Structure 1
Amino acid sequence: MADTYENYVDGEWRASETGETFAVENPANTDETVAECQDSSSADARGAIEAAAAARDAWAETPGPARGKLLRETAKRMDDRREELTETLAREEGKALGEAGGEVGRAINIFYYYAEKAMDYAGEASNPSATGQNLYTVREPMGVAGLIVPWNYPIAIPSWKMAPALATGNTVVCKLSQDAPTVFLKVTECLAEAADAVDAPDGVVNVLTGGGEEVGQPIVEHDEVDAVSFTGSRSVGDMIYEQATDAHKRVQTELGSKNPTVVTESADVEEAAQIVGGGAFGVTGQACTATERVIVHESVHDEFVDALVDYAKSIEIGAALDGADMGPQANEGEIEGTLDDVETAKDEGATVEYGGGQPDGDEYENGYFVEPTILTGLDSDATVMQEEVFGPFVGIMTVSDFEEAIDLANDVEFGLAAGIVTDDHTQANRFVDEVDFGVVKVNEATTGLELHVPFGGMNASSSETYREQGEEGMDYFTIIKTVYDNY
């Protein structure tokens, strides 16, 4: 029988007032229930927000090094449970074990990183124009931070939102995705133990599960929530942005994208296939930074397609716990969306070079498995070259010169991650300068991020308000006060 997890509110574990739970299934074997989680109500959400508001002043007045100690103690406990967290993530979200382990390690390092940053993140001194005066700024917490997180990076994304919020003195209310909440509920266990160990106030951390309307909406609307940070679909993100800004809250959204990689005539074709394949098919293509459009110079097009097909053929599809290279999609809606997108592409004239369907075999019957898919013959205005496909999918376009490649790279409304594979340093630098994307990679997959530098998109991929991660990730959760101190 699967374990049942409760919400963590005001320093204690609580069942929802609804008395209802929902099942979290293993996408590699839908007959297996990973956990039962609380099907929370708006009343549960309001209770969590009120707990966070009650703890706001006490946590804001806690010295930065003491706040950092909470994060450090949490990271230690996560590290002790690294193997358990990795297996849980693989079972409920479907990531291959190596990918799941990498994400868990990243989350641990995020907590360690912000534990140290909490010690010296305060403000800056400036030279005043007058004598007998100190002139400086201080950074103060926003107050209560509402965090709404997705399922595709279910431990990393909550960590890179929550850790800087706590480090800067905010209390938090976090709504987890219903598809993969269990791994961060286990992180919350680590946070709860650490809070007891360092005597943190009750209500500093509040974590709930439930539906968007029941739990997410109160977080966006409640008067006691001062800042809202959301990662997810553009449609939901745009709605949250509008509602939160109308309520005069600070808001941050990171949304979808349609990420290009340009392969120039000077590129090493085998290397390019490895880079594109990793960016397109890693984590089953379920990353907002995944490569979906490849723009290839005509002189290397055929060779590149052959190399990428060989790469796709080498991928072992299967359950993470069986050691597969690529796991299933996260849920039924995602795989149906991917398969529908492939059919749309075929209707619009695409040639399927590889994949395009579900793999055959008894081992795939109870899971949401899909083949890595490579399409050619599409123009930039094709539906699947403009709208995000959240699965292991890539469409290839051909160009005759570098200027055309830049134009096609920018020919979408999104702007999160873009890459180029080239041995021409001039073209690499022009690409960095001329593409309208928040993350630009040279000779590297569009996926994969360093935690100590800013991350975020441009155009329709983001609210373009504040960046996440790095020290800039702390800026979002603070407001500046300027002090003129005459003596």
Structure 2
Amino acid sequence: MNAIDTSLSSSPGQPAPGAFADAIVDLFGELGLSLSDDLGSDLAVFSPIDGSALATLKMHRATDMDAMVANAEVAFVAWKQVPAPHRGELIRRYGQLVREHKEVLSRLLTIENGKILTEARGEVQEVIDICEYAVGLSRQLFGLTIASERAEHRLTEYWHPLGVLGLISAFNFPAAVWAWGTTVALVCGDSAIWKPSEKTPLTALAFAKLLQKVAADYEFAPDHLVQVAIGDAECGGIIADHPGISIVSATGSVRMGQDVGVRVQRRFGRPVLELGGNNAAIVAPSADIGLALRGTIFAATGTCGQRCTTLRRLIVHESIRADFVKRLIAAVGSLNIGSPLDDMTHVGPLIDKAAFDAMQRALDRARGEGGTVHGGERIEVAGSPEAYYVRPAIVEMPAQSEIVREETFAPILYVLSYADFAEAIALQNGVPQGLSSCIFTSDVREAETFQSAQGSDCGIVNVNIGTSGAEIGGAFGGEKMTGGGRVSGSDSWKNYMRRVTATVNYSTELPLAQGVKFDFDID
């Protein structure tokens, strides 16, 4: 294994390896927050940077969850009566507070999650951006006026607050995914309970406590409007099953979504699922090769391959494959791998040993299915045996085999060839997942076909841009085993509200729809 330097002394105030637990306390202090009430002996939290312990937290049990839901239901009754623009004002104040503490929150996120600082800053900016989006939305929760077939009747559609949101988020975006759903749900009039990943609960506590701090100073916000449930899969199961939780928004693996979705629907709750992605890029002969290389490399290696939108399959025209792959391997081999707190780093660590083991199993299977693996080895960090840094893997495959059709949450990019455009589309669509997709081409027919009903079957379809880095204005989510949900953007706010169709008769007659006659005498 290759050794790399993880010295963190290059930036002022940057903690040295092993000092991250103290750094967490200091960062919470800079936010004006304390962790003392959350500490316990149940859940140990580690930094993927060096494998060191950050804190040990108390976990919430079933009785705690029942109390949370009861409190959230009371908060909902009060909050839904607050005019939506006033609900938006709470989010505006929160977004401003996050903006003021952007750098502190970014460093906290990087220490606990392991993504490089520029990506952490981008994620915190995403929280700020979604707050601005939600504030604008608070004045646009509009329904419809519909033409009635009956004279002197008005047919309208309204949207009303739905209830308590239970949000289950994954470790890879420990702040943004929560903000996508919760800020929108709050302006829609819902209360919220957040169950973050047990791998990144400290980030969750920081972001939620800041919102609770804003709510405590806001005259219209009831107590317990936003709560955090620290726990494991059992805690998530309680959210899925609890009849007091109206909406369950869950982001994570397909296996998790299959379990949560069924449990929520069994009790006629509303599931909003954003699950796995096995995202592909088609590189056509007419592509701008430099653009395609840059787009491919970030999409495949960002967050060390631990994004749901990570590029996992590269479908290159056979006429340009050899040269493209050669340049790709060279470029990926030149990436700086190391401490995510170093601004020169391109790729930080995997979240933990389980992620590393899953990556190695996938690479072994790829070799067994005829693949040629470039990279993928562990890069040892001196003095940090529990940290899992890896070289991103480029895997040349003879066909879209079984392992290629699976999602491995690690930086593995499978390379396939195609001869004609129909074959490329078939390869792109030939996996169970349907989140994100892209094509690099200068051919307008190919670009338009890719976006059409005959093209990509994913929820996100990009042209001359990679599969990751979605903007908050567009609906985010995908089809097939990605779950079909849209957690934020566009009109996804409707997931967090209930629809009412209302008819008002302002005539002196009582005509029935569809011309139905039902005449009788009244004394």
The offset of 1:159, in angstroms, is 0.5
Distance, in Å, in 1 between the alignment partners of 2:150 and 2:130 is: 42
Could you list the per-position Cα deviations for residues 327-351 of structure 1 after superposition, in whole angstroms to 9, with x for gaps in the alignment? 0011221111112111111122211
Specify the alignment match of 1:336 in structure 2: 357
Q: Indicate how the Cα distance of structure 1 residues 13 and 308 shifts in structure 2: closer, same or farther if over 3 A, else same.
A: closer
Q: Give TM-score scaled by structure 1 length.
A: 0.93
1:405 matched to 2:402? The reply is: no
| Residues 284, 392 of structure 1: 8 Å contact kept | yes
Distance, in Å, in 2 between the alignment partners of 1:307 and 1:396 is: 13
Specify the alignment match of 1:30 in structure 2: 51
Q: Aligned partner of 1:280: which letter? A: A
1:257 matched to 2:280? The reply is: no
Distance, in Å, in 1 between the alignment partners of 2:384 and 2:405 is: 30
Distance, in Å, in 2 between the alignment partners of 1:206 and 1:364 is: 35
Q: Give TM-score scaled by structure 2 length.
A: 0.87
Pick from 181, 187, 195: which aligns with 1:167?
187
Q: For structure 1, list consecutive stretches of 5 or more residues without a partner in the other structure.
A: 7-11
Q: Indicate how the Cα distance of structure 1 residues 472 and 53 shifts in structure 2: closer, same or farther if over 3 A, else same.
A: same
| Residues 221, 247 of structure 1: 8 Å contact kept | yes
Pick from 445, 456, 459: which aligns with 1:438?
459
Distance, in Å, in 2 between the alignment partners of 1:486 and 1:401 is: 60
1:147 matched to 2:167? The reply is: yes
The offset of 1:130, in angstroms, is 4.5
The offset of 1:410, in angstroms, is 1.0
| Residues 386, 412 of structure 1: 8 Å contact kept | yes
Specify the alignment match of 1:9 in structure 2: none
| Residues 269, 300 of structure 1: 8 Å contact kept | no
| Residues 395, 413 of structure 2: 8 Å contact kept | yes
Distance, in Å, in 2 between the alignment partners of 1:41 and 1:477 is: 26
State the number of aligned residues.
Answer: 475
Distance, in Å, in 2 between the alignment partners of 1:363 and 1:98 is: 25
Distance, in Å, in 1 between the alignment partners of 2:75 and 2:382 is: 53
Q: Indicate how the Cα distance of structure 1 residues 251 and 460 shifts in structure 2: closer, same or farther if over 3 A, else same.
A: same
The offset of 1:378, in angstroms, is 3.4
Higher mean alpha-carbon deviation, 126-135 vs 374-383, is at 126-135
Distance, in Å, in 1 between the alignment partners of 2:380 and 2:164 is: 49
Distance, in Å, in 2 between the alignment partners of 1:281 and 1:420 is: 18
Q: Secondary structure at the match of 1:109?
A: helix
Q: Indicate how the Cα distance of structure 1 residues 179 and 116 shifts in structure 2: closer, same or farther if over 3 A, else same.
A: same
Q: Aligned partner of 2:323: which letter? A: E
Distance, in Å, in 2 between the alignment partners of 1:222 and 1:239 is: 14
Aligned 1:280-291 pairs, distance under 5 A: 280-291=300-311
Pick from 197, 201, 214: which aligns with 2:217?
197
1:424 matched to 2:443? The reply is: yes
Distance, in Å, in 2 between the alignment partners of 1:391 and 1:254 is: 18
1:482 matched to 2:501? The reply is: yes
Specify the alignment match of 2:414 in structure 1: 395
Distance, in Å, in 1 between the alignment partners of 2:35 and 2:395 is: 49
| Residues 195, 230 of structure 2: 8 Å contact kept | yes
Q: Identity of counterpart residues, as a percentage? A: 31
Pick from 473, 484, 489: which aligns with 1:470?
489
Q: Secondary structure at the match of 1:145?
A: strand
Distance, in Å, in 1 between the alignment partners of 2:153 and 2:402 is: 62
Specify the alignment match of 1:71 in structure 2: 91
Q: Secondary structure at the match of 1:136?
A: strand
Specify the alignment match of 2:201 in structure 1: 181
The offset of 1:133, in angstroms, is 4.0
Aligned 1:231-250 pairs, distance under 5 A: 231-250=251-270
The offset of 1:310, in angstroms, is 1.9
| Residues 48, 113 of structure 2: 8 Å contact kept | yes
Pick from 113, 137, 144: which aligns with 1:117?
137
Distance, in Å, in 1 between the alignment partners of 2:480 and 2:43 is: 36
Q: Aligned partner of 2:338: which letter? A: G
Q: Aligned partner of 1:444: which letter? A: I
Q: For structure 2, list consecutive stretches of 5 or more residues without a partner in the other structure.
A: 1-20, 29-33, 507-523
| Residues 285, 317 of structure 2: 8 Å contact kept | yes
1:156 matched to 2:176? The reply is: yes
Q: Indicate how the Cα distance of structure 1 residues 13 and 220 shifts in structure 2: closer, same or farther if over 3 A, else same.
A: farther
Distance, in Å, in 2 between the alignment partners of 1:468 and 1:122 is: 19
Aligned 1:234-383 pairs, distance under 5 A: 234-323=254-343, 324-352=345-373, 354-360=374-380, 362=382, 365-383=385-403
| Residues 349, 377 of structure 1: 8 Å contact kept | yes
Distance, in Å, in 2 between the alignment partners of 1:120 and 1:297 is: 46
Q: Secondary structure at the match of 1:151?
A: coil
Question: Which protein is bigger by CA-based radius of gyration?
Answer: 2
Distance, in Å, in 2 between the alignment partners of 1:267 and 1:301 is: 12
Distance, in Å, in 1 between the alignment partners of 2:81 and 2:441 is: 51
- How large is the RMSD of aligned CA atoms in angstroms? 2.0
Pick from 230, 233, 236: which aligns with 1:209?
230
Distance, in Å, in 2 between the alignment partners of 1:403 and 1:129 is: 47
The offset of 1:377, in angstroms, is 2.9
Distance, in Å, in 1 between the alignment partners of 2:384 and 2:421 is: 42
Aligned 1:88-127 pairs, distance under 5 A: 88-127=108-147
Distance, in Å, in 1 between the alignment partners of 2:66 and 2:37 is: 14
| Residues 165, 248 of structure 2: 8 Å contact kept | yes
Distance, in Å, in 2 between the alignment partners of 1:390 and 1:77 is: 33
Could you list the per-position Cα deviations for residues 346-405 of structure 1 after superposition, in whole angstroms to 9, with x for gaps in the alignment? 1222112x212112552764411111100113311232x111011111010111111111
Q: Aligned partner of 2:223: which letter? A: D
